[in-house]
Amino acid sequence: MGLHSLQPAEGSVNRDGKRLGRGQGSGKGGTAARGHKGAKSRSGYSKKIGFEGGQMPLQRRVPKFGFTNINRKNYQGINLEKLQELVDNKVISNEVSLDLLIENGLVGKNELVKILGNGELKAPLKISVHKFTASAKAAIEAAGGEAISL
């Protein structure tokens, strides 16, 4: 035991603060530390999220910008070099499926997958995912593999 490990006994220092509105003798009677009048002094008061005391809120000061396409599809990209790395580590042998990629943590189960052409592929792989870039498809076929779009 050292000075750095000393602690007060369990429950000895936990005070719940001052009790408000319990008479003048308590020092927090009368207005119960809420001041006089105004919305904040009344029960049921809660300010709106983002309220800045009447100043124009940030969300209204900042201009709207751009356009969000609700039909946009986001693809999770996987490079050829990553697939070659998996072949080198003997994780995959000749067939790459969506389930195999999910199993190895490269993509999430609800994500769309696109194979990208970065890196070099030496192994002849049969790859079946959602999309391929033109360079990736060419590299897969040049290595003797097959690119199948789902």
CATH of the domain at 116: 3.100.10.10
Higher pLDDT, 17 or 86: 86
What pLDDT does 19 receive? 86
Q: Contact at 8 Å (CB) between 96 and 115?
A: no
129 within some domain: yes
22 within some domain: no
Q: What's the mean pLDDT in 95-107?
A: 92
85 within some domain: yes
Please list the helix, strand and coil fractions of the chain in percent, rounded to the nearest 5, in that order. Answer: 25, 15, 60
pLDDT digits (tens, 9 = 90+) for 51-97: 999 999 999 999 999 999 999 999 999 999 999 999 999 888 889 99
- For residue 89, give its domain range: 75-149
What pLDDT does 50 receive? 92
Structural domains in the chain (count): 1
Q: Contact at 8 Å (CB) between 60 and 66?
A: no
The pLDDT-based confidence of 15 (bands split at 50, 70, 90) is: confident
pTM value surpassing 0.85:
no
